[in-house]
Amino acid sequence: MRRRLAACLATCAIRFAAGQDAGSALPSYVGSGTCLECHALGRPERPCSIEAIPAHEKSYRALAREEAEDIAVLTGTVDLPRESLLCLGCHATSTDLGPRWTRPSFDITAGVQCEACHGPGSLHAEARQHVRDGAEPPPPAGIQPGDREGCAACHRKRPSHDEVLQRGWRLPNTDRRYKTPVNLATSPDGSRLYVVCEHADSLVVLDPKAGSIVREVAVGRRPNDVAVSPDGKRLFVSNRFSRSLSVIDAASLQVVHEVPVGDDPHGVLANPSGDRIYVLNTGENSISVIDARSFREVRHMASGNGPWSLALRPDQRSIAVTSVRPLVCGLGEPHRSEVTVVSTGDDLVTQRVMVADANMLEGVTSVPGRDVVLFTLMRTKNLVPITRLAQGWVVTNGLGVLSGDGRLDQVLLDEPNRAFPDPVDVAASPDGRLAAVTSGGADEVVIVDIEALLDAISSSTPESRAEILPNHLGTSSRFVKRRIQVGANPRGVVFSPDGCFVYVAEALDDSVAVLDARSSSLVRRIGLGGPAKVTALRAGERLFHDARRTQGRQFSCRSCHPDGHVDGLSFDIEADGLGLHPVDNRSLRGIFDTAPFKWEGTNPTLDRQCGPRFAVFFTRLDPFTPVELDALVRYVSTIERPSNPHRAPDGLNLQQRLGKAVFDRVATNTGREIPRVKRCSTCHDGAYRSAASIQNVGTTMWFDAPLDLSEMDLHDDYSYGPLGAAYFQDLVSIDRSFDVPHLTNVYSSPPYLHNGAAASLEEIWTRYNLYERHGTTHDLTRRQLNDLVAYLMTL
Amino acid sequence: MRPQLGASRGLLLASSVLGLGMQGSPGPSAPRMLVTLVPARGCDEAQGPAHDREPARDWEKGGPLPDGSRIVLLDLEKPSAGAVPLTAEWLAAGRADLSDDGERFLFVGRRGPGDAFQVYEASLAGGEPRQVTHRTGDCLEAIYLSTLFTIDAERPEPRICFRGVAEDGVSSLHTCRLDGGDERRITFQPHGAASPLLLADGRLLFVGSLSPAPSASTGLFTINTDGTDVQAFAAVEAGAFRTSPCETPDGRVIYVEERAKGTAGSALLSVSGIRSRRSRQEILRVSSGQLRDPAVLPDGSLVVSWRPDSAGSTFDLFRLDASAAEGLEKLYSTDAWNEIQAVPIHSRARRPGRSSVVDERASHGFLYCMDAFLWDLEPGQRIPAERARQVEIIAAGSETAQERVLGTFPVEQDGSFYLQVPARTPLRLRLLDGEGRETRAMTSWIWVMPKEARGCIGCHEDPEITPPNRHTQALRKPACEVKR
């Protein structure tokens, strides 16, 4: 046994040292039928001592059961269970590599097979064939021992399964019928109002004058934005989960094209001549330019981090694009976000405007008649300890004002003691006098007097524009005309072409509010046909978006988790000491089965995570009641995780496959065995690539630990500066353990590590693994590291 | 006693000045209300001899109510019914506060001459009042709070707030459960705190004295109901006496202001709860006499107690009416009694409770200042770094009000400092240069509660400015420990 292991390690080492051979040298799955040719009980050659486990054989078929879909809902899975990598990860064999890495003898419907534990066996089978044929014995072919410890990767507590199979939870039909309008647009003549309904995967066409529904048009999965061609004949709807653009004929209201675009598309816009469509690929930080005749991408440009919405500038020659997340910056540095300016003539990025100290740049509009663009923003104080929920200590909310000369100003829409949380969209009236801004967290719309706003800016000194206006809670009284209460979670907002009305998408009321622009009052609400009943799930979704549950309306859950994801920031939470223990924000997508929660891993359930401590250290108001907490947890449990665009339908490509070999390796390039605790796959195992436990992986830095620092000169950058001699806890004394994060969709949530110190996946090993306490990686070649990252991007 | 009920007319002043949104109201209603009656003289012939133990007018400044004081129920729609006494068997009782559901009320009272004033709760439907507090000293005011939740509690618990008087005569605010248990002191101003008012957003507004002198100026402050985050609500001014705050349904705070010099008389002022420093409006000014205890009626109009300067006059109840003399329309008056602290009876929305980081077992909290060089009293100016090298921490004395210097600590190069300070201790700070000379000094007092981390942007920042997103140098070190 020992000799066999040594030989195996040597093989691995040789392979890695040679920089890997072609894909043909990597094993594929052959299926249990092939294995049993030699290993079946009663066979003369090394019969398998384990009898077939019926549940393993049925595991794939179990995914066709009705309950599987409900379990998938609770895991945030957007695919059918039989197509979900997460489900297949435990219910089938080979999905870690994909169909490309299977042989014809392999049958996925056979469920959990021999190779699920022993790894793909094609090389092994071929080697045995050589032996049978009497040829020279080939080198051992890397079959994994498959000890029982590996069983735990799948056989562990799954709250999603318990909820459905033991407690009988089913997604109520009512929850399938909600509309959730998120964005809207009008036809050029104002006779139609097009409303994107995220939950219903549809575009609802309204007659705003009559207040009636004209038709509901099915589009792709999770639509987000709609644009109208200048002549009004075509409608373009971005579909986040389908990664597509639905092209709709406005006359027949039929989808006439489905155009593939990039990952997680949000904003969409047609240019003035109607020959180009701009689509923001939020998940991959890029802008696609689509030819409106051929519907082919003709240009692809890099945007800011998480491009969100876009507007044609008043000169009609360029487009301003907002970014929901800040650019990744160093630990402890103030963040900044990008407004990307793209020329419509040659489709080139002409300017990257940096918006200091701001994030969540979402809605954007140009102001007719003025060379000004307005966009919503938040100013999240992630470097300031969360000590007070007053005076804008946690987050402030406002508008960015980008002038044609490139001048950028920021103003707040908050008031002292009353925030304007989660500003998500802004629209300007056709005469350029008014702007309407929605607050998703307070169910409010503010009407801004644009003249007064610009006057407040122009009458301020340069110093005041730089330091006071972006930070002053009293300024909004100079230009906010009215604050109007609307329905639950207003998002998209648009003026009617004649400027008489403001239409507001009330996302969690399934309705559109119609406001009279002159009187700034609510005229009527147009229902979109969703259920009147508010289910527990819907109630939880409302709580998630409601900042009024926080002292001073400072923030909602959504303020840090747009689309249930991350804002890309690390925070200094009060509970563990000021200035110490910054923690990276973590995605909420598909987290129900990923306990423990918090980086310290001290919360075993989401109920605990969202319960008393959340009230004491975050919201500071009454904790959620048990009924509310159930509803909130239910909603959080169902936040969807988009399928991974880096993984092709046929599975891993060669580079990714090589990266997986690095991930799974048990020996260094020189053949030295890697201790079990230093292997990637030890902690990052199972379908979620997480041991679901707390581990000490040596990434603790001096500001992470509860040490007596009183005798240390922490201003000594040589020792305590970034990567200084005492930067890592190794050189001090104590160490801390952290929850092993799951790696599903890890590509989408930089920065990395518990404190967000690593700006990219690469930095985890190139900067923050100085002492190899976070796995044995120092021997990896640059190519191997790139392979590893390529593989991680597919998880 | 024979009540004199004025005609119910006109809302013009209240609705126009306060912007209470009552346009279209059919007219003022005349609701039921709880009123505290204080005997105009030392005793009430109708009720027998009183047992005054305090100077006759000490109650006007917040002292104990004189014997014979009582709470009555007034129904202004049934004037013939007169005032129905609710606390007749008490030697002295008054200062009622109504529960959110409008069915119960708190009051302070004492039954016998040797008793201290305690807090009681009674039902408007009748029945024996329930004693809430059992303190050795007097409880002189009490109001309902919302709930308080702490990390080790099973659930949020409803609480009340009361003003207790220490042996040295200084008042402070305390909270406790409705059964009187788990008492916590929440204000530590060395010169006293009074008139608690729970605002619609769940903060507690109170009147704080700025010096130990009996004639000391008073200002309005807010805290959370766990005692954290004490802040001046309206600008603190020497020579201004601000008392009797109440809140309108649209979030304005109305209070009485008198000044030691300059403008004579008494004024009702209003500020927005949102922008309390920049929204001051005068609602009513009386050229003579004294206003007190404004309250908002269900129809949005204001009722207030007013006593002219004329000899022998008493506090009577008035409704604000622009068309009436002095802008006041008399609602209720008696010769033998002062009618004060009208509490209209109606239900109101529950105010949000608080979840608290305060750990009563701890003895310290934290003070964190981001930029001590920031100073708003000289626009555009910052204190030069060389003039702010150190910060001196001064504690108020407990009985003699003599100040004690607790220590001097470095200010970092970026103006930040971070201190671990004794909790529940009134503190003020002085900025010193490298030679120990004073550059700036706080004149008011702050405190931190146990485990509270109190953050400040600057040493005297504009209260409407928000902190910049900066990681300061002070937070790269552990907090400097300030010993008691």
Chain B residue numbers touching A552 (CB-CB < 8 A): 201
Q: Give the pair of three-digit tokens for residue A160.
A: 């999603």
Count how many Cα atoms sit within 13 Å of the Cα of residue B283 in the half-sphere of its side chain. Answer: 33
Instruction: Spell out the residues 6+ positions from residue B78 whose beta carbon is closer than 8 angstroms to its own.
Output: none
Question: Where does the pLDDT of residue A723 fall: very low under 50, low under 70, confident under 90, or very high at 90 and above?
Answer: confident
Q: What is the pLDDT of residue A734?
A: 60
Question: Where does the pLDDT of residue B105 fall: very low under 50, low under 70, confident under 90, or very high at 90 and above?
Answer: very high
Shortest distance, CA B453 to any CA of chain A (angstroms): 6
In eight-state DSSP terms, residue A410 is: E
> Residues A285, A333: contact at Cβ < 8 Å?
no
Q: Give the pair of three-digit tokens for residue A12.
A: 């691995």
Q: Is the confidence at residue A44, as pLDDT, over 80?
A: no
Chain A residue numbers touching B366 (CB-CB < 8 A): 387, 578
B418 and chain A in contact, CB less than 8 A:
yes
Q: Give the pair of three-digit tokens for residue A268.
A: 């969409």
A627 and chain B in contact, CB less than 8 A:
no
B356 and chain A in contact, CB less than 8 A:
yes
How far apart CA A502 and CA A506 sit, in angstroms, is 12
**Pick from A591-595, B51-55, B240-244: least confident:** B51-55
DSSP letters along A661-683, please?
A: HHHH--B-TTSPBPPGGGSHHHH
Q: What is the pLDDT of residue B379?
A: 60
Question: Where does the pLDDT of residue A13 fall: very low under 50, low under 70, confident under 90, or very high at 90 and above?
Answer: very low
Percent pLDDT > 70 in chain A is 93
Tell me, what amino acid is at A37?
A: E
Shortest distance, CA A113 to any CA of chain B (angstroms): 48
Q: Is the confidence at residue A355, as pLDDT, over 50?
A: yes
DSSP reduced 3-state for B240: strand
Q: What is the pLDDT of residue A53?
A: 86
Burial B130-155 (b: 16+ CB within 10 A, else e): eebbebeebbbbbbbbbbbbbbebee
Q: Tens digits of per-residue pLDDT, A594-646?
A: 999 999 898 999 998 899 889 998 999 999 999 999 999 999 999 999 999 99
Nearest to A578 among B231, B355, B366 (CB): B366
CA of A622: how far to CAs of B53, B148, B201, in Å?
Answer: 43, 7, 12
How far apart CA A710 and CA B478 sit, in angstroms, is 6
Q: Is the confidence at residue B425, as pLDDT, over 80?
A: yes
Chain A residue numbers touching B280 (CB-CB < 8 A): none
Shortest distance, CA B231 to any CA of chain A (angstroms): 11
How far apart CA A682 and CA A66 sit, in angstroms, is 33
A482 and chain B in contact, CB less than 8 A:
no
Q: Mark yes or no for CB contact A616/B357 under 8 Å.
A: yes
Q: What is the pLDDT of residue A4?
A: 43
Q: Tell me the sheet residues that pair with B223.
A: B204
Give the orientation angle of helix A122-132 with respect to helix A32-39, to 10 degrees.
Answer: 40
> Residues A452, A392: contact at Cβ < 8 Å?
no
Average pLDDT, chain B: 85
Q: What is the pLDDT of residue B24?
A: 30
More confident position, A628 or B378: A628
* Average pLDDT value for residue range A248-272: 97
> Residues A787, A15: contact at Cβ < 8 Å?
no
A25 and chain B in contact, CB less than 8 A:
no
Nearest to B468 among A380, A471, A620 (CB): A471
Q: What is the pLDDT of residue B4?
A: 42
Residues 29-68 of chain A whose Cβ lies under 8 A from any Cβ of chain B:
none
Q: Mark yes or no for CB contact B471/A412 under 8 Å.
A: no
**Pick from A40-49, B83-92, B357-366: least confident:** A40-49
Q: What is the pLDDT of residue A141?
A: 62
Q: Is the confidence at residue B10, as pLDDT, over 60?
A: no
Instruction: Spell out the residues 6+ positions from residue B126 whose beta carbon is closer than 8 angstroms to its own.
Output: none
Residues 373-392 of chain B whose Cβ lies under 8 A from any Cβ of chain A:
380
Q: Mark yes or no for CB contact B469/A334 under 8 Å.
A: yes
Q: Is the confidence at residue A275, as pLDDT, over 60?
A: yes
A673 and chain B in contact, CB less than 8 A:
no
Shortest distance, CA B49 to any CA of chain A (angstroms): 48
What does residue A86 show for φ and ψ, rounded to 5 degrees?
-65, -45
Chain A residue numbers touching B479 (CB-CB < 8 A): 578
Helix (H) or strand (E) holding A631: helix A626-637
More confident position, A764 or B321: A764
Q: Is the confidence at residue A133, as pLDDT, over 60?
A: yes
> Residues B305, B339: contact at Cβ < 8 Å?
yes
B222 and chain A in contact, CB less than 8 A:
no
**Pick from A60-69, A190-199, A688-697, B11-20: least confident:** B11-20
Q: What is the pLDDT of residue A220?
A: 97
Q: Tens digits of per-residue pLDDT, A671-703?
A: 999 999 999 999 999 899 998 888 888 888 888
Q: Identify the top-confidence range among A35-49, A634-648, A682-696, B28-42.
A: A634-648
Strand ranges for A623-667 from DSSP E: none
In eight-state DSSP terms, residue A299 is: E
What does residue B128 show for φ and ψ, rounded to 5 degrees?
-75, 125
Residue with tokens 């970026």: B414
Q: Tens digits of per-residue pLDDT, A151-177?
A: 888 998 899 999 999 999 999 999 999
Sign of the Cα torsion B346, B352, B355, B357 reads negative
Q: What is the pLDDT of residue A709?
A: 67
What does residue B385 show for φ and ψ, rounded to 5 degrees?
-55, -35
Say how many CB pairs under 8 Å bridge A and B.
Answer: 151
Helix (H) or strand (E) holding A612: helix A612-614
Q: Is the confidence at residue A183, as pLDDT, over 50?
A: yes
Q: Tens digits of per-residue pLDDT, A199-222?
A: 999 999 999 999 999 999 999 999
Tell me, what amino acid is at B287?
A: S
In eight-state DSSP terms, residue B233 is: S
**Pick from A137-151, A186-200, B6-20, B409-423: least confident:** B6-20
Count how many Cα atoms sit within 13 Å of the Cα of residue B364 in the half-sphere of its side chain. Answer: 12
Helix (H) or strand (E) holding A718: helix A717-720
* Average pLDDT value for residue range B311-321: 89
Instruction: Spell out the residues 6+ positions from residue A66 whose beta carbon is closer than 8 angstroms to its own.
Output: none
Q: What is the pLDDT of residue B476?
A: 83
* Average pLDDT value for residue range B71-89: 86
More confident position, B313 or A446: A446
Nearest to B478 among A575, A621, A710 (CB): A710
A400 and chain B in contact, CB less than 8 A:
no
Instruction: Spell out the residues 6+ positions from residue B238 whose beta carbon is closer than 8 angstroms to its own.
Output: B210, B217
* Closest by Cα among B74, B78, B76, B137 to B108: B137
Q: Mark yes or no for CB contact B470/A552 under 8 Å.
A: no
* Average pLDDT value for residue range B174-188: 96
Give the orientation angle of helix A654-664 with respect to helix A2-17, to 10 degrees.
Answer: 140
Total number of residues shown for chain A: 795
* Average pLDDT value for residue range B386-412: 87
A715 and chain B in contact, CB less than 8 A:
yes
Q: What is the pLDDT of residue A727?
A: 78
Residue with tokens 């202001």: B257
Question: Where does the pLDDT of residue A770 fall: very low under 50, low under 70, confident under 90, or very high at 90 and above?
Answer: confident
The complex's ipTM?
Answer: 0.89
Q: Scanning every residue of chain B, which has its alpha carbon at the shortest distance from the alpha carbon of A359? A: B469
A561 and chain B in contact, CB less than 8 A:
no
Q: What is the pLDDT of residue A781?
A: 96
What's the CA angle centered on B202, arms A617 and B339, to 5 degrees? Answer: 155
Burial B419-450 (b: 16+ CB within 10 A, else e): bbbbbbbbbbbbbbbeeeeebbeeeebbbbbb
> Residues B457, B371: contact at Cβ < 8 Å?
yes
Shortest distance, CA A573 to any CA of chain B (angstroms): 11
Work out the number of other CB atoms within 10 angstroms of the CB of residue A645. Answer: 18
* Average pLDDT value for residue range A582-601: 93
Average pLDDT, chain A: 91
Nearest to A615 among B149, B229, B276 (CB): B149
Question: Where does the pLDDT of residue A20 fall: very low under 50, low under 70, confident under 90, or very high at 90 and above?
Answer: very low
